[in-house]
Amino acid sequence: MAGKEDLKLLGLLVSPFVIRVRMALSMKGLNYEYVEEDIFNKSELLIKLNPVHKKVPVLIHNGKPICESLVIVQYVDELFAGRAILPTDPYERATALFWAAYIEDKLSPAWIGILKAKAEEERAEKVKETLAAIEHVEVAFAKCSNGNAFFGGDSIGYFDIVLGSFLFWFEALRRMYGLEIINTSKTPLLAAWAERFRGSVEAKEVVPEADKAVQYANKLHAATAAAVKLVSSE
């Protein structure tokens, strides 16, 4: 296929959802213009292109916006030739989609809950949920990987990027709260997989240092505290 595709990605360097899309684009060997959004001051373009959620990532392909990270990843996989991100067999696809949905429904809200918790008790509750979810994922890895290095086989695939995009945040939470979401004793398979993921070419390209996540969390907490102060001073 000749010619360039007009691809632009509205994102946030520390967003796992954005990282998934960047990894997918990279796996397909696609070039794109990257625009870093200030989440605390969203651009008109972002609001115009994702009026429903006003969130990143938004992929703009030949002027048309696509929103929601998992939808974007599937779009990129279906449209562009090259390395397959999702498995080709319908049943294996269903399994990969199932576990991605599990991450979105159970792990992602728990992680956000840990970050946004206003009290220690709340945070402890969310940590419990996160650990429970990760245990299920450890079992899934044992079943799905079939002894391979990654969920999808011997190279990174769909579910690897869906979960892997959170890893630097897990490290950030360890630095902030002493939490060990994946550890070598309770989740040995995931711990080994995480090492491999982190060391991969695909991840090294787009996954930031955990410190960036810590900085972002601090900024988020400061902004929330300021907002609370504003409200309570009215």
Partner 1 sequence: MAGGDDLKLLGMWASPFVLRVKLALSLKGLSYEYVEEDLRDKSELLVKSNPVHKKVPVLIHNGKPVSESLIILQCIDEAFAGTGPSLLPADPYERAIARFWAAYIDDKMLPALNQSAMGKTEEERAEGKQQSLVTVETLEGALRDCGKGKPFFGGDSAGYVDVVLGGLLGWVRASDELHGVKPFDPERTPLLAAWSERFGALEAVEPVMPDVSRLVEFGKMLKARLAAPPAAGASN
Enumerate binding residues for partner 1 (CB under 8 A): 52, 61, 64, 66-68, 70-72, 74-75, 78-79, 90-91, 93-94, 97-98, 101-102, 136, 140
Q: Which two tokens stand for residue 90?
A: 């319908």
When the beta carbons of 87 and 213 are compared against partner 1, the nearer one is 87
Q: Tell the smallest beta-carbon distance from residue 67 to partner 1 (Å).
A: 6
User: What's the start-to-end Cα distance of the chain, in Å?
Assistant: 60
Q: Tell the smallest beta-carbon distance from residue 45 to partner 1 (Å).
A: 18
Q: Tell the smallest beta-carbon distance from residue 210 to partner 1 (Å).
A: 28
Q: Tell the smallest beta-carbon distance from residue 64 to partner 1 (Å).
A: 6
Do strands 58-61 and 33-36 pair parallel, antiparallel, or not at all (unpaired)? unpaired
When the beta carbons of 100 and 181 are compared against partner 1, the nearer one is 100
- Do residues 166 and 15 touch, judged by C-beta distance below 8 A? no
Give the list of residues 6+ apart from residue 194 with CB closer than 8 angstroms, or none. 164, 167, 182
When the beta carbons of 47 and 71 are compared against partner 1, the nearer one is 71
Q: What angle do CA 96, 30, 5 make, to 5 degrees?
A: 115
- Do residues 214 and 175 touch, judged by C-beta distance below 8 A? yes
When the beta carbons of 94 and 227 are compared against partner 1, the nearer one is 94
Q: Tell the smallest beta-carbon distance from residue 78 to partner 1 (Å).
A: 5
Burial environment of residue 14 by CB neighbours within 10 A (0 to 12, 13 to 18, 19 or more):
buried
When the beta carbons of 128 and 136 are compared against partner 1, the nearer one is 136
